[in-house]
Amino acid sequence: MLKIAVENIKNWIFVTGAIRSGTTFVGQILSLPLEVDYIHEPFNPMCGMPGIERSYRYVRPRLDTEQMQSYHEITKSIFNYDLTLKSWHPQNDPWPRKAIKRLTGSRGPFYLRLAKTNPFHKAAVIKDPTGSLLSEYLHLNFGVKPVIVIKHPASFIASLKRVNWWPHPGKMKDQPHLIEDYFSDEVDFLHKKWSDPILGSAAYWRALNKVFLIQTSKYPDWQVITHEELSQNPVSNFKKLYEALALPWSESVKSKIIKQTQNNSSAEARKGLVQDFQRNSRDIFEMRRDSLSLEERKAIFEVVEDVALQIYSKESFAI
């Protein structure tokens, strides 16, 4: 496929965070201008680049091992648009969506085709929560600007509960460099078995955000935004992100944000949708948090306390 003026892309942005934290919404809002391409989850083994075999791969910026160097060679293809992305068709997709994907491909290949043939592109947003542990590596080796999206642990768990997805920190284990760099003070944490999926997902939240907070303390130019901030004041907070990332803000962008966050009286996602971007965003946090029992909120807090209190108050858990 013809690639149009890829060398014109000087502004690379990496949107990441835990899954179900709003990274897709943030990535799509940041890529609204015609000048901004959107690249969907290239590091996701299910729908990303061929050769990517696991989620949450950790790569040191200095590429310490031959395996890291091989991963680096694959990653280079993103920045000259020589990459291809796999098409993914989840079994639980409704039939109309399956039919569309058969014609156009899934999101990754579809948006990649648009990106490669966009004659106006000057920036690109790479969105990928499964590549979250690559943030520092991508920043130092390719000059990407990370945008870290953090969602309150209680709201995060409630969102997982709605779709019956249960990540756990075991996805990050068996990576000695990750443990050496970030978990040397609690070596067994990533290997701990959690009998309750809620607590296992709380441990996943804690592990990822522990890494993020250590990294962002070293790089003050990284953008860290909470889902709650974006939900409460979407226009003003997205405008700040646009300015910090040198993206072109416009009244058209503003009106699209308003449409997606204020044009629906309900904060609840519509039935059958894993992601619903047309909701009353202001009420999402309390609705999600309060859908959990007091006992569940207390148990989550006990797992995440030391990391969560760097971002949220204890009162925000309503315990």
* Confidence bin at 267 (pLDDT 50/70/90): very low
User: With 60 as the cut, is the pLDDT of residue 180 above it?
Assistant: yes
Give 171's pLDDT tier (boundaries 50, 70, 90).
Answer: confident
Taking 3-state DSSP, the helix, strand and coil percentages for the chain, each rounded to the nearest 5, stand at 50, 10, 40
The residues, ordered by sequence, that sit 6+ positions from 107 with a Cβ below 8 Å of its Cβ are 40, 47
Q: Residue 254: in which H helix or E strand, if any? A: helix 251-262
Query: In this predicted structure, what is the pLDDT of residue 274?
Result: 40
Token reading at 118 = 């966009």
Cβ 241 vs Cβ 165: under 8 Å: no
- Rg of the chain over all Cα atoms, to the nearest angstrom: 19
Question: Mind listing the pLDDT tens digit for each residue in 59-111?
Answer: 999 999 999 999 999 999 999 999 999 986 566 655 455 555 555 668 999 99
Q: Which amino acid is at 249?
A: W
Regarding predicted confidence, which is higher, 175 or 280? 175
Model confidence at 254: pLDDT above 60? yes
Mean pLDDT of 232-237: 95
Strands of the sheet containing 36-40, edge to edge, are 36-40, 123-127, 11-17, 145-150, 223-226
- The distance of Cα 194 from the centroid of its chain, to the nearest Å, equals 24
Compute the C-alpha angle 288/202/61, nearest 5°: 115
Closest CA to 137 of 74, 224, 48: 74
Mean pLDDT of the chain: 90
Rounded to whole angstroms, the Cα distance separating 172 from 315 reads 30
Residue type, 8: N
Is 1 a domain residue? no
**Residue 44 falls inside a structural domain:** yes
* Domains contained in the chain, number: 1
The pLDDT tens digits of the residues spanning 100-143 come to: 555 566 899 999 999 999 999 999 999 999 999 999 999 999 99
pLDDT at position 264: 53
| 293 belongs to a structural domain | yes
Burial of residue 176, with CB atoms counted within 10 A of its CB: 0-12 exposed, 13-18 middle, 19 or more buried:
exposed
Does the structure show a pLDDT above 70 at 210?
yes
CATH at 44: 3.40.50.300
- Report whether pLDDT(146) > 70: yes
**Segments forming the whole domain that contains residue 260:** 6-314
Predicted model pTM: 0.90
Phi, psi dihedral angles at 250 (to 5 degrees): -155, 165
Q: Show contacts of 136-143: CB within 8 Å, 24+ apart.
A: 136/61, 136/215, 136/219, 137/59, 137/60, 137/61, 138/14, 138/75, 139/14, 139/61, 139/219, 139/222, 140/61, 141/61, 141/72, 142/12, 142/75, 142/78, 142/79, 143/12
Residue 9's pLDDT band, with cuts at 50, 70 and 90, is: very high
